[in-house]
Amino acid sequence: MSKPKTVVVVDDHPLYRSGVVKSLTDDGRFSVVAEASNADDAVRLARELKPDVMMLDISMPGNGVEAARQIVASVPSVNIAMLTVSEADDDIMSALQAGAKGYILKGVSAEELAGILAGIANGESYVSPGLAARLLVSMRAGPAGAARPTNTPLATLTAREEQILKLVAQGLSNKEVGRKLDLQEKTVKHYMTSILQKLNARNRVEAAVLAKESWKQSAS
């Protein structure tokens, strides 16, 4: 059995935090090494413990996004997952721009949360599906409201790159994509690097959202 992934849970609501800790502990794939309730303690614990995952609430005292930004700057090996009730465009984009690998709404079940965190602990990205359309609009608008190019970067992808992107958009990891297409994981990573560059996307989440929206429009 593989070694449990270490997690620090940061939320200023003690009852909710306790529930998250219990569900992750019961899952068996995680070891919750610390808890906290504010941004300052989150940054300190990240630097001291260097866990696999930091779970941060955006609205906690001291600002969860700012905590994420400081953690990424000082301990880049830590994967950050935002667990929040906020569906605001600004919060989603601010969290991803700060370096968060995941943006998870608090309505998820304990089983779903564990599955999502397992992926994030391995460096994968995740944004709650219901927020995809909003995220796309914000990305197209840009940080200063500037319009993005109207041409479609997806047209520049090779057949193999589009095949891989479709699987990524379905939520598959690089390893799972490799198994489906009979490719080595490092080969899939190479393709993903090319895809991100062509789409001008910062990460897999952005690439998948752009792809889903484009395919949806093409089908309509």
Residues shown for the chain: 220
Q: What pLDDT does 218 receive? A: 56
Cα 140 to the center of its chain, rounded Å = 19
Mark residue 146 as left, alpha or beta (left: phi above 0; alpha: psi -120 to 50; beta: remaining): beta
Domain 149-219 sits in CATH 1.10.10.10: yes
DSSP character at residue 61: T
Residue 88 is predicted with a pLDDT of 79
Query: What is the dihedral sign for C-alpha 36, 40, 44, 50?
Result: positive
Question: Cα–Cα distance between 80 and 87 in angstroms, integer?
Answer: 18
30 forms bridges with which residues in the sheet? 5
The ranges of the chain with pLDDT < 70 are: 1, 129-153, 212-220
Residue 173 is predicted with a pLDDT of 82
Q: What local confidence, expressed as pLDDT, does residue 67 receive? A: 96
| Residue 60: predicted pLDDT | 93
Q: By CB neighbour count within 10 A (0-12 exposed, 13-18 middle, 19+ buried), where does 103 fall?
A: buried
In this predicted structure, what is the pLDDT of residue 138?
47
Query: Which residues fall within 8 angstroms of residue 17, CB to CB, at 6 or more apart?
Result: 9, 10, 11, 35, 37
Give pTM, 2 decimals: 0.65
Four-point Cα dihedral 209, 214, 216, 218, nearest 10: -170
> Given phi > 0 = left and psi -120 to 50 = alpha, else beta, which region is 150?
alpha
Q: What is the pLDDT of residue 2?
A: 78
Q: Which residues contact 46 (CB under 8 A, 6 or more apart)?
A: 8, 54, 71, 74, 75, 78
* Residues in contact with 212: Cβ distance below 8 Å, sequence separation at least 6, in sequence order: 132, 169
Q: Where along the chain do its domains lie? A: 5-137, 149-219
Residue spans of alpha helices (H) in 2-142: 14-27, 39-49, 64-74, 89-98, 110-121, 132-141
| Superfamily holding 5-137 | Response regulator (3.40.50.2300)
SS3 52: coil
* Max Cα distance, the chain (Å): 51
Per-residue pLDDT at 166: 83
